Structure 1
Amino acid sequence: MKHFILITSLLLSNASYFFSQTKNIKELLAKKRVVIIMLDGFGMNYYQNAPMPNLKRLTGTGFFREVKALMPTVTNANNTSICCGNFPDKNGITGNSFLAVNDKEEYMESKELVLSPTIFEKLKKYGIKSALLASKKKSIALLSKGADIALSPEIADSVWVKRLGKAPNIYSPEVNYWTMEAALDILKDQKDIRCLYIHTTDYPMHMWEPSDSNSLKHLMRIDEYIDKISKMAPDAMILITADHDLNHKDRCVDIENALAKKNVKVKIAISAERDKYLKHHRGFGGTSFVYLNDQKDEALVKKELLTIKGVKTVLTKKEASKEYHLMPERIGDLIVFADSLTVFGNLENKEEETLPANYRTHGSEYEIRVPLLILNAEHIPPASYFKYNKDLTTWLFREN
């Protein structure tokens, strides 16, 4: 009992010290800018395999912790949670797609769907200017509310093209370098922008495994940009995390077709990974939202789902909402999780398909391990504070 009291006292003492040292965000960002980098797909497999000497050097005097991404491990759910600093049950973004109240399958790519303030909106209340730079334009559509600058190479205007040159194709590693160049431009010439949020694309991770020379080349270039950012803005805190890892998958299952063969019908099964960037992953992912025609079908459908090869776990809406902090109104009646080698998606007239040897994607619990790094910052919370990628910036808003 004495040991428990002593440990508890030490933990409370450390937490009290941190919170007493944390400055008001306006005071903090008047002295130090903050650069937030959400490296899409930069899971632990990539972090551990890439040399990235500049990042590793900066981490030596900074903070690193392996944390969890949020389920489903898809970009919109995780990027929104990082940007808002809370779980999907609060911000409302539970995946890349969902079934709306009108029974229409919709992409989660509208700022009206985000139910919590973004970091840009929070900063605006303090009169602090911010910028969102995203290789994928969908992040601009989803998360730019409150940002003073919202820029994507996919929709760059003539002013930015004149500054940085024509934007590369979205399906290339070079598009990330263009986004990083835009960040350097703002850091150099627009010092009134006190917060930059940079979101890259994971296209290179979908194309190449961590040890592939092309992947290493891409991450070495990203590493060079991190070094340039630290030198261009020596005052800046640099906060880095990822939305998910990636792994090879060897088969895709069409849940609707697989159930139909068993004479079981559902309203629709939607891959949580489904978005408009089909060249990345064809819309296949490790989580599926299954919507029922009738709630009385729940037990039967769940039973049959568990007989399908590649299905690891099936949770009810209530179970998944509680387990993974998901908003129940924006997930299926049943949530299906795949095993390590399976993904779910629409295959038209087939039940399953063998995938190419180089196919890589995410969406399951097997892509949940991601790094969280904080560089050039003071009074960082204890390591125990950081459990998820969404915790990356929340500590900045703690006030005395």
Structure 2
Amino acid sequence: MTRQPFTVNGREYRPPAEPVVVICVDGSEPAYHEQALAAGRMPWLAKASQDRLSNWPAHGAMPALTNPNNVSIATGRPPRDHGISGNYILDPDSGQEVLMNDKAFLRIPTIFGAANDAGYDVAVITAKDKLRRLLGAGLVESGPALDGSGGEAVPERRGICFSAEKADQATVADNGIGDVLDYVGRPLPAVYSADLSEFVLAAGVRLLADRRPDLLYLSLTDYIQHKHAPGTEVANDFYAMIDNYAGQLDALGAVVVITADHGMSGKSDPAGAPRVIYVEEEANRVLDGPEARVILPITDPYTVHHGALGSFASVYLPDGADPAVVGSALARIEGIQAVHTRADAADRYALPPDRIGDLVVLAEKGYALGRYPAWHDLGQLDAPLRSHGALGELNIPFLINRELTRPADLEQDIAEPACVHNYDAFWVATTGLTAGVDHAG
């Protein structure tokens, strides 16, 4: 069947000549693969660099967190358009923190759903289950088909989407595939382990070998990066594993893009103690009366390795409070890089204004942001704090196993220069590849 180009969210995606595989290495600042490469631990990448490889400076979307960036990759657009501004938001109707892990929060369709509608074969494999419902929108839906007995309607298979975390629970009806553990030939991995990411990659290689989907997205977890700095033995072992599977995907004839959702920074002092600014506590020192409410969008069900401490915070002020007064006080604190009003943050970082606070606070690379001390359980941390969320974690890798013309620089006012974003990945590997790429649109 001949595939036709399709358009979604203002971009045209042309049918690729080979399968396209995008790997999102969660938490992968460029130093990780650079140091592993220098240590001789990534032989495939070393050979690809000599033969054919495009290696461009890149940015993720803001905030530099997992959910917003994975959805940006999945939609080809920044959070301003797709609406996922963090893992958690403050629901204006209930006043409660709400986990944004359901497709109901999406404001635009995904590339994956649009590709399925256009007749492409699409598979999405995530490490953590929190992403599955967002990334799987449009892949496995209830359809009108009847079962063999002529009875009740059953779901119609429209692609594959499952998580390594709950691979043992995947079914054809809900995920487009069943018996995943037997299919991949690996046991169910622990959620806090490097094995979770390896399961995703092993499953991707198996799918590519026997099904050859047109588009394959493999999203890993940042468990290793939260605990181990670039160049350490454990980190190099992890990147050697990634290199092995990337080489297998390349050998199977795929266009392989390796990027990340965000980088990672150390946020502890020389003694190893977390260097934390408690934003809600600091804001309430300024206010006389009703208190501010801080939302830390890094918060998710997996807080063991970061204690809900990131470098991006939304501050919701009580009625009558002056944002300029509170913002000015916060900006004077050592370790605060910037404080923006809602309008300024939305404009500067392409964020949805209705899903961020009255103020947006960004920490310097070596600092973390919290609410107030009692809210965080730092007893779970078993290594010096490494985390992410703001400009210090914006720079990410963008590697593709094809020689292409470097795109024009984009959005240099945000941080260091970048020529492409992670959410350009599927466009570059389809339309951009056929056009030779002279911009990333």
User: Structure 2 length as normaliser, TM-score?
Assistant: 0.78
CA deviation map 1:332-373 (0-9, x unaligned):
110001122211124444899898862111112111111111
- Render the CA deviation track for 1:277-331: whole Å, top value 9, x for unaligned: 1012111110100011125421222122223332221100010011111110111
Q: 1:14 matched to which residue of 2?
A: none
Counterpart Cα distance in 2 of 1:190 and 1:295: 59
User: Distance in 2 between the 1:94 and 1:338 partners?
Assistant: 17
Partner of 2:123: 131
Would you say the 8 A contact 2:30–2:396 is kept in 1?
yes
- RMSD value over aligned CA atoms? 2.4
1:92 alignment partner in structure 2: 83
User: Which deviations, in whole Å up to 9, do the C-alpha atoms of 1:221-254 show, x marking residues without a partner?
Assistant: 11101111112x22x2111211111111021222
Aligned to 1:318: 343
CA spacing shift, 1:356–1:48, aligned 2, 3 Å: same
Secondary structure in 2 matching 1:281 = coil
Distance of 1:215 and 1:348 partners within structure 2: 30
Please say if residues 339 and 361 of structure 2, whose CA atoms lie closer than 8 Å, have aligned partners that are also in contact: yes
| TM-fit CA distance, 1:262 | 4.2
Residue 28 of structure 2 aligns to a residue in which SS? coil
User: Deviation at 1:110?
Assistant: 1.2
Separation in 2 of the partners of 1:239 and 1:132?
14
- Distance in 1, matches of 2:382 and 2:358, equals 31
- Separation in 2, partners of 1:351, 1:279: 11
One of 37, 45, 52 as aligned partner of 2:23? 37
CA–CA separation in structure 2 for the residues paired with 1:242 and 1:351? 27
Residues 73-106 of structure 1, C-alpha deviation per residue, up to 9 Å, x if partnerless? 1111111111111111111111221112222211
Q: 2:219 aligned to 182, 186, 199, which one?
A: 199
Residue 197 of structure 1, CA deviation: 0.2
Q: 2:70 aligns with which of 57, 74, 79?
A: 79
Please tell me whether the aligned partners of residues 310 and 342 of structure 1 are also in contact (alpha carbons under 8 angstroms): yes
Match of 2:315 among 290, 296, 302: 290
Residue in structure 2 matching 1:388, options 421, 424, 427: 421
Once residues 242 and 310 of structure 1 are traced to their aligned partners in structure 2, the CA distance between those partners, rounded to angstroms, is 25
Quick check: 1:48 aligned with 2:48? no
Match of 2:389 among 363, 380, 383: 363
SS of aligned partner of 1:146: coil
Residue of structure 1 equivalent to 2:364: 339
State the 1:186 CA deviation: 0.7
- Between the aligned partners of 2:278 and 2:192, the Cα distance in structure 1 is 26
Determine helix, strand or coil for the equivalent of 2:305. Answer: helix
Higher relative contact order (CA 8 A, sep 6+): 1
Task: Answer yes or no: is the 8 Å Cα contact 2:227–2:386 preserved in 1.
Answer: yes
**SS in structure 1 at match of 2:125:** strand
Percentage of pairs with the same residue: 30
Give the equivalent residue in structure 2 for 1:18: none
Q: CA deviation at 1:134?
A: 0.6
**Conservation of the 8 A alpha-carbon contact between 1:74 and 1:273:** yes
Tell me: CA distance 1:56–1:82, structure 2 relative to 1, closer, same or farther (3 Å): farther
Matched AA of 2:126:
A
Secondary structure at the aligned position of 2:304 is classed as helix
Q: Which amino acid aligns with 1:338?
A: A
CA contact (8 A) 2:13 2:427 kept: no
Per the alignment, residue 146 of structure 1 pairs with 138
Alpha-carbon contact 2:287-2:326 (below 8 Å) kept:
no
Query: Which moved further from structure 2: 306-315 or 119-128?
Result: 306-315
Whether the 8 Å CA contact 2:33–2:239 is kept in 1: the answer is no
SS at structure 1 position matched to 2:138: coil
CA distance in structure 1 between the partners assigned to 2:376 and 2:21 by the alignment: 45
- Between the aligned partners of 1:383 and 1:350, the Cα distance in structure 2 is 44
Instruction: Mark the runs of 5 or more structure 2 residues left unpaired by the alignment.
Output: 1-11, 140-158, 170-178, 269-274, 410-418, 436-441
Aligned residues: 370
Deviation digits for residues 101-155 of structure 1, max 9, x if unmatched? 2222112211111112212112123200101101111110221112311111211
Could you tell me how far apart the structure 2 residues matched to 1:76 and 1:96 are?
A: 6
TM-score by length of 1: 0.86
Q: Which segment drifts farther, 164-173 or 342-351?
A: 342-351
Corresponding letter in the other structure for 2:385: Y
Separation in structure 2 between the aligned mates of residue 332 and residue 373 of structure 1, nearest angstrom:
35
Pick from 244, 259, 284 the counterpart of residue 283 of structure 2: 259
| Structure 1 equivalent of residue 264 of structure 2 | 246
The answer on whether the counterparts of 1:285 and 1:363 sit within 8 Å (CA) in structure 2 is yes
- Which letter does structure 1 place at the counterpart of 2:131? S
Q: Is the 8 A contact 1:246 1:361 kept in 2?
A: yes
Q: Quick one: distance in 1 between partners of 2:383 and 2:164?
A: 31
Contact 1:254 1:351 in 2 (8 A): no
CA distance 1:375–1:308, shift in 2 (3 Å): same
Give the residue type in structure 2 aligned to 1:238.
V
CA distance in 1 between counterparts of 2:67 and 2:227 reads 20
Q: Do 1:65 and 1:371's aligned partners in 2 also have CA atoms closer than 8 Å?
A: yes
Give SS of 1:280's match.
coil
Q: Does residue 1:58 correspond to 2:69, yes or no?
A: no
Gaps in structure 1 of 5+ consecutive residues: 1-23
Matched residue type, 2:70 = N
| Residue 212, structure 1, aligned to residue 241, structure 2 | no
> Which is richer in helix?
1
2-structure distance, mates of 1:126, 1:284: 41
Aligned to 2:114: 122
Preserved contact between residue 338 and residue 364 of structure 1 (Cα < 8 Å): yes
